[in-house]
Each structure stands twice: as structure tokens, then as C-alpha cells.
């Protein structure tokens, strides 16, 4: 049981060994967060837009079944085949079945975190299907035989030298070449050949519209469209929470998505699929895989409002300094840490503890998910359920005691500060995996509260 708990701590310990690298990772993501800030500030209606998105998603949660049925009906009328998968295994079987039916053993795929969640690539490869990821970042991590470390920026953990070496080995670029322009061009040509020769394309879905039966796929590279429009068969896979009621709701979501993700006003391509082109087959696979269970957890169902923009990761001080892979889950970062325990409480018991609960994630989330509150609530659930080993449990118990009694909080804070000032190594001990590779900050001589009390008197 305690094995998983060590996992994030251990993984982040390895990640933190190379300090300049961690600093670089930290700064790179913070830079993306700043682009989001700049972009959002250009819209005076930013906060009302977030509220609108949140309200639409709340409505979706409370009318999920009807919206899905309407979507299915419209999609069928439009000539799209609709499939339902209760879990990852069924999803993978459906995709494999479609490929087999058409005698296809090679497929291109654009970004789909759902297929990562379902471990589809491994399954298909085992069954003799070659899957080529076509998003540049995803192709990079695929060639390295590792999962994406970020839902929007899959190769954000890599330096250009790593990618240069990788492309030299696999794509025959010059040894030592690190120019992003040159490396991207090599990947473009390598992948163009795949687009032109593959008969099946799989894409994710950003939004599925109940009103029209259509779905929208957003990319910057154009890879989803290149794949889908050239293939004989297009398979689009979606978690059922991707549904939105009306086409006009896209006005709200598309204004928020790219600005929150990278600071762009919109992604380069927002592709609206409604009917297959002449002679093409189009399939949608609607996947549950634990989502309907999460929908029943009143404290955690809001996590299903997520539009996968990645903003909560870019802003998270823990994510930035531990990297996506340390989360051992398809979706990393704060949102991943509230989705993962729903899938497996034992294996993912460590993740809700991988947070300082600073609340920055909730502040940037475009659909206003109470991410840090949910992290805190998961801790209670996991401790009560016996999924957390002693060391963490003591911390949590102490914390709930501290937080439930304001006076005790004042006292313990003052005590904590004096302990840190006199004997910092006591706090910086092995019991607290977060402080490995890191010196505890110098304790402030005075807490905000002490300062406030003193100054108010003056």
C-alpha cells in the first residue's frame, strides 16, 4: 500500500537531482502561465466568461444523460456511427474491431488524453497495429517510449538537445543538430509521409455538441485535420463529459481554452466535424471508464467540468518542480491528482498529497473547478479508507486538527517558526518527502498575523 505513496516522492526526488534542469522546467512553465495571464487580461469580460463556462458545465453535469442521447441521435442522423464503452478495455476493443473490419494495420493518431488513459497504443501494438502519434510533442515522447508529461505540452520536460539526439537516431537528422526549426521540418516530412499512407485516423474530441451531433477538435499543428481528411475511416474518442449543449456555447469555451492553455487567442485550427465526407466512415466512441462513478461523488464530480487546458499544471509550484511523469497518471498535475484516485484509490493515494493547497490552480481554472478543495477532500477520503501510510496520516490528522481550531493554528504557527529558526533540520527530515533536495526556507521572524496584530495597535 505504501509503495504508491513513495512513487511521486521518489520520482520527484530523481527529477530534483539536477537543479539547473528543474529551474529551467519551472521557469518554462511559469512563462506559459504568464502568457495566459497577459492574454486573459486583454478581455475585460474574463471573469464573467469563466462563470459562464462554469454554469454551462454545471448544467451539463446535471443533464448528462439527456445531452448524450440527443448528441447520439443527431450524430447518427448525420451518418456518424456511435459506440459506447463502459471502460478502457471496451474502448480499446472497439477501436481494434473497427481497424480489423477494414483490414487496417497502421493508423495515425492526433492528441487524445483519453487514449493515454486507456493505454490504447500499447494494446493496439500488441495486437499488431502500428500507431503513429502525429502531434510533434507526442511523436517525440512516443519515439522515446515514454508517456506525455503534460496534457497540452507533451514534451515540455525535454531539452532540444534530447530531441536532437532522438531525431538523429530515428529520423536521420544531423548529429548534434538542435535548431527547433530544422528539427520540426524533419518531423514534418517524416509525418507527412504517414498522413499520406495511412487509411485510418484517430482523433480526440474537445467538445461534442448535443444540439448538432457534431464535435470540435482543436490543434495548432493541423495534425488532426491532416489525418482525418485523408483517411478512409476517422475514429473520434471522447470521455462522455466532453458534451456541451449548444453550438453557441463554443463561443464561450473557445474564447477560454487557448488563452488559458498557451495565451493564444484561439488555437490555429478549431475543426467542426458533423458528417463524414463522401466515401468516408466516421465513428465516435463515447467512454465512461469511471466517469459515471465520479459523477456520483458530490465532492469530486466538478472535476468532470475540465476542458483540459493545462493551466492548473503550468501554475502549480509542485508540478513545475516535479514534472509530469512523477504523477504516474495519464493526466498529471492538480487536475490529474483529483481524477486519478477515482480510477484507483490505492495506486493513486499519494497524488492528492502532491500539493501545497495554495489554490493557484483553482484561481486559473477557466471552468472554475474547486481543484484545491477537492485535493484536500480526497486526503480525508483516502486516509479514512486506509489508503495512506502512517507518515502522511499523522501529518493529515495534525493538519485537520490545526485547521479546525483557529487558536491552535496561531500557537502552532508560532511554535513552528521558532522550531525552524533554532533547529531547521528537524523539519527538513526524511518524514517529509517534499523537503528532499531542498533546504527549508528561512523562517519569517513574524507571521502575517503577528505583524497585523502589532500594527493594528499603532
The CA-CA-CA angle for residues 272, 273, 279, to 5°, reads 145
For the bound state, the minimum distance from the C-beta of residue 242 to ligand SF4, rounded and expressed in Å, comes to 12
H or E element in which residue 307 lies: none
Residues that bind ligand SF4 (CB under 6 A): 260, 306-312, 335, 364-367, 369, 371
CB of residue 413 to other proteins, shortest distance in Å: 37
* Least distance to other proteins, CB of residue 158, Å: 8
Region of residue 177 (left: phi > 0; alpha: psi -120 to 50; beta: else):
beta
Q: Which is nearer to other proteins, 35 or 414 (CB)?
A: 35
* Minimum distance, C-beta of residue 125 to ligand SF4, in the bound complex (Å): 28
The partner in contact with residue 196, picked from other proteins, ligand SF4, none with C-beta cut-offs of 5 to 8 angstroms by kind, is other proteins
Q: Note whether 107 binds other proteins by CB under 8 A.
A: no
Residue 437: count other Cβ atoms within 10 Å of its Cβ. 16
134 binds, among ligand SF4, other proteins, none (CB under 5 to 8 A by kind): other proteins
Specify whether the CB–CB gap between 346 and 387 falls below 8 A.
Answer: yes
CA dist., res. 193 & res. 197, Å (int):
6
**Smallest separation, CB 72 to other proteins (Å):** 8
**Degrees, nearest 5: CA angle 151-161-120:** 35
107 binds, among ligand SF4, other proteins, none (CB under 5 to 8 A by kind): none
134 binds other proteins (CB under 8 A): yes
* Binding partner of 412, given ligand SF4, other proteins, none, CB within 5-8 angstroms per partner class: none
Q: Which is nearer to ligand SF4, 228 or 312 (CB)?
A: 312
Binding partner of residue 154 among other proteins, ligand SF4, none, CB cut-off 5 to 8 Å per kind? other proteins
Residue pointed to by grid coordinates 502512517? 390
CA distance to 130, 337, 414, 433, 437, per residue, from 421 (Å): 59, 33, 11, 20, 19
Strand, coil or helix: 276: coil
The partner in contact with residue 366, picked from other proteins, ligand SF4, none with C-beta cut-offs of 5 to 8 angstroms by kind, is: ligand SF4
Say how far apart CA 444 and CA 116 lie, in whole Å: 44
Query: What would you measure as the largest C-alpha separation in the chain, in angstroms?
Result: 82
Using the contact rule CB under 8 A, the part of the chain among 121-129, 177-185, 344-352, 387-395 near other proteins is: 177-185
Contact between 175 and other proteins per CB under 8 A: no
Residue 369 contacts which entry, other proteins, ligand SF4, none (Cβ below 5-8 A, type-dependent): ligand SF4
Residue 37 within binding range of other proteins, rule CB under 8 A: no
Residues 264-323 touching other proteins, rule: CB under 8 A, are: 264-277, 286, 288, 292-293, 295-296, 298, 301
Please list, residue by residue across 36-61, b when 16 or more beta carbons sit within 10 angstroms of its beta carbon and e when fewer do.
beebbeeeeebeebbebbbebbeebe
Q: Of residues 64, 114, 364, 371, which one binds other proteins by CB under 8 A?
A: 64
Taken in order 442, 443, 449, 453, the sign of the CA dihedral is: negative
Residues in 413-432 that interact with other proteins by CB under 8 A: none
Q: Is 23 in the site for other proteins (CB under 8 A)?
A: no
Cell 505540452 locates to 153
The Cα–Cα gap between 222 and 101 comes to: 28
In the bound state with ligand SF4, the residue whose beta carbon lies nearer, of 283 and 372, is 372
Near other proteins by CB under 8 A, which window of 117-125, 168-176, 252-260, 403-411? 252-260
From the CA atom positions of the chain, what is the Rg in Å?
A: 23
Could you tell me the smallest distance in angstroms from the CB atom of residue 368 to ligand SF4? Answer: 8
Residues 6+ apart with CB under 8 A from 71: 208, 209, 210, 213, 243
Q: Under rule CB under 8 A, which residues in 66-95 are in contact with other proteins?
A: 68-69, 78, 84-86, 90
Look at residue 263 and give the partner it binds from other proteins, ligand SF4, none, a contact being a CB closer than 5 to 8 Å depending on partner kind: none
Interface residue with other proteins among 133, 225, 350, 370 (CB under 8 A) is 225
**DSSP secondary structure code for residue 345 in this structure:** T
Pick from 353, 350, 251, 263: which is nearest to 311 by CA?
263
Stated as kind and residue range, the H or E segment containing 433 is none
**Locus of grid cell 488532426:** 224
Phi, psi of 209 (to 5 degrees): -105, 115
Report the residue number, 180 or 386, with the smaller CB distance to other proteins: 180
Interaction of residue 168 with other proteins, rule CB under 8 A: no
Amino acid at each position: 500500500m505504501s509503495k504508491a505513496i513513495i512513487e511521486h516522492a521518489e520520482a520527484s526526488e530523481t527529477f530534483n537531482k539536477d537543479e539547473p534542469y528543474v529551474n529551467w522546467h519551472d521557469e518554462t512553465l511559469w512563462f506559459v502561465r504568464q502568457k495566459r495571464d497577459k492574454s486573459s487580461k486583454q478581455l475585460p469580460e474574463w471573469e464573467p466568461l469563466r462563470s459562464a463556462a462554469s454554469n454551462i458545465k454545471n448544467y451539463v453535469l446535471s443533464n448528462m444523460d439527456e445531452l448524450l442521447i440527443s448528441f447520439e441521435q443527431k450524430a447518427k442522423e448525420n451518418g456518424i456511427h456511435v459506440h459506447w464503452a463502459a471502460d478502457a478495455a471496451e474502448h480499446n476493443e472497439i477501436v481494434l474491431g473497427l481497424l480489423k473490419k477494414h483490414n487496417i494495420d497502421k493508423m495515425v493518431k492526433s492528441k487524445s488524453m483519453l487514449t493515454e488513459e486507456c493505454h490504447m497504443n500499447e494494446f493496439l501494438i500488441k495486437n499488431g497495429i502500428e500507431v503513429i502519434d502525429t502531434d510533434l510533442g507526442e511523436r517525440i515522447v512516443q519515439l522515446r517510449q515514454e508517456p506525455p508529461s503534460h496534457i497540452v505540452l507533451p514534451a515540455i520536460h525535454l531539452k532540444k538537445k534530447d530531441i536532437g539526439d532522438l531525431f538523429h537516431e530515428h529520423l536521420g537528422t544531423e548529429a548534434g543538430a538542435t535548431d527547433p526549426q530544422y528539427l520540426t521540418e524533419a518531423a514534418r516530412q517524416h509525418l507527412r509521409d504517414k498522413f499520406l499512407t495511412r487509411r485510418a485516423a484517430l482523433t480526440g474530441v474537445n467538445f461534442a455538441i448535443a444540439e448538432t451531433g457534431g464535435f470540435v477538435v482543436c490543434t495548432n499543428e493541423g495534425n488532426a485535420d491532416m489525418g482525418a481528411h485523408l483517411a478512409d475511416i476517422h475514429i473520434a474518442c471522447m470521455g462522455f463529459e466532453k458534451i456541451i449543449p449548444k453550438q453557441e456555447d463554443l463561443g464561450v469555451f473557445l474564447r477560454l481554452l487557448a488563452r488559458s492553455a498557451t495565451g493564444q487567442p484561439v488555437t490555429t485550427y478549431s475543426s467542426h466535424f458533423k458528417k463524414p465526407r463522401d466515401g468516408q466512415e466516421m465513428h465516435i466512441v463515447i467512454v465512461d471508464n469511471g466517469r459515471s462513478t465520479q459523477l456520483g461523488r458530490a465532492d469530486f464530480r466538478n472535476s468532470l467540468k475540465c476542458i483540459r487546458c493545462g493551466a492548473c499544471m503550468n501554475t502549480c509550484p509542485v508540478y513545475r518542480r516535479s514534472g509530469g511523469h512523477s504523477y504516474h497518471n495519464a493526466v498529471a498535475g492538480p487536475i490529474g491528482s483529483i481524477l486519478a484516485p477515482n480510477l484507483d484509490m490505492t495506486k493513486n493515494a499519494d497524488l492528492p498529497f502532491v500539493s501545497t493547497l495554495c489554490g493557484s490552480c483553482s484561481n486559473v481554472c477557466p471552468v472554475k473547478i474547486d481543484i484545491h478543495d477537492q485535493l484536500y477532500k480526497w486526503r480525508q477520503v483516502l486516509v479514512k479508507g486506509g489508503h495512506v501510510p502512517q507518515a502522511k496520516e499523522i501529518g493529515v490528522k495534525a493538519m485537520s486538527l490545526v485547521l479546525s481550531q483557529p487558536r491552535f493554528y496561531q500557537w502552532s504557527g508560532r511554535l513552528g517558526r521558532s522550531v525552524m529558526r533554532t533547529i531547521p533540520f528537524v523539519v527538513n527530515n526524511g518524514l517529509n518527502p517534499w523537503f528532499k533536495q531542498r533546504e527549508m526556507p528561512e523562517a519569517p521572524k513574524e507571521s502575517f498575523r503577528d505583524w497585523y496584530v502589532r500594527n493594528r495597535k499603532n
